[in-house]
Structure 1
Amino acid sequence: MTLIGQDAGTQRLSHSWALTARREDLAHFRRLASLAMREWGQPSSVAEVVLHGVTELLSNVARHVEDPRCTLELTLVGGGVLVTVHDRSPVLPVITLPDWTAEEGRGLWLLREMADDLGYAGAEGGKRVWVRVAGEAPDA
């Protein structure tokens, strides 16, 4: 589903997809996010962090949530991009200093270091996890 802001003409302000998080589908959602970044005129530095966020948040649902149905949302907010994943688990993520010798467990920590904001909160029926990347406002 794509939402269009009335005050912005045809400029899409948000993209939202209901999906089942599976590792084999990550490339597809990265492509969709990449198209949104181009549509919004975001520089490659913003797109890179957004794509990393999409991959990490959906990977975590696929890996850690029993019911991997979720919603991925990309929203243009104040010239920046907000990536949000709503999933069906009430268990909030724990971000700790990673063990650099381990094969996993450092994704959210790295994402937090790359992005302008990373957060999470309980929500009805599960939780939402988000990452915000400051960007550039689209051309008027």
Structure 2
Amino acid sequence: MPDLNIPPQSARRALVIGGSLGGLFAGNLLQPEQAIRDLAMARMVDRRVLLLGDAAAIPRPHTAASTSKAASNALTLVRALERFPNDPDKALARWEAPQVALGRSLYDHGREIGDHLLFHRRPAHCAS
């Protein structure tokens, strides 16, 4: 016989999710909470040490951008190194600024989406 002593918070989750998957949440077998972390480094290069992908910037999950950002970091790095094959320091210097800007943009965008989803705040660029 299943335990029917379901905490109210879990019961609300089950109602929102519904179906057999909702039963898993109601029984606390799965917890839908996820810690949201975001990060945007001001620098990605220190001499010849690089930060790429989520080590350099972690966009929030609702941006759905983490994988494409990591791919952009890698592909543009290859292009920069090919453009300056005899000067990796120059290649890294040219590569870093646009990639830092990309990470910062995704960081800002993710925070705006989160504020809208959680607190119903309109993003700054939206008309009133």
Could you tell me the TM-score, scaled by structure 2's length? 0.37
TM-score computed with the length of structure 1 as normaliser? 0.34
**Larger Rg over CA atoms:** 2
Higher helix share: 2
- The structure showing larger relative contact order (alpha-carbon pairs under 8 Å, at least 6 residues apart) is 1
Q: 1 or 2, which has the higher strand percentage?
A: 1
